[in-house]
């Protein structure tokens, strides 16, 4: 990081390096979340509950979409099939 052009602005390579670092951190956190969702599913199944609760998913997505700021408009669209991959 810290690569600058002659005008003192970040270069394309520097911005890409920053994006790559953020992507790696996002993937680490999403994998951590998925692992926790799997543990929750184990607990729910052991208690005789369905592992997937569409009502809970809707609440989580609505909650996330209500307080996000920035460029992302819709968490479900931004994450693609992630909710389908980590039901719990």
6-30 pLDDT per residue, tens = 777 999 999 999 999 999 999 999 9
In this prediction the pTM is 0.66
pLDDT band at 82 (very low <50, low <70, confident <90, very high): low
Average pLDDT of every residue of the chain: 82
CA distance 45 to 68: 32
Per-residue pLDDT, 62 = 82
> Is 2 domain-assigned?
no
Is 4 within a domain? no
The pLDDT score that the predictor gives to residue 20 is 95
H or E element at residue 26: helix 12-46
Residue 75 pLDDT: 61
Domain that holds residue 32: 12-85
Contact 41, 87 (CB under 8 A): yes
Into how many domains does the chain fold?
A: 1
Residue 19 falls inside a structural domain:
yes
Find the CATH number of the domain harbouring 50.
1.20.59.10
Check whether 35 has a pLDDT greater than 90: yes
| Residue 79 counted as domain residue | yes
- CA atoms of 78 and 85, how far apart (whole Å): 14
Q: Which residues pair with 10 in a beta bridge?
A: 4
């Amino acid at each position: 990081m810290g690569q600058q052009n002659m005008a003192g602005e970040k270069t394309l390579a520097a911005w890409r390096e920053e994006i790559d670092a953020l992507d790696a951190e996002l993937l680490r956190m999403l994998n951590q979340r998925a692992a926790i969702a799997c543990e929750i599913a184990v607990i729910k199944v052991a208690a005789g509950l369905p592992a997937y609760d569409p009502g809970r998913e809707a609440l989580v997505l609505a909650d996330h979409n209500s307080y996000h700021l920035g460029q992302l408009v819709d968490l479900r669209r931004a994450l693609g099939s992630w909710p389908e991959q980590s039901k719990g």
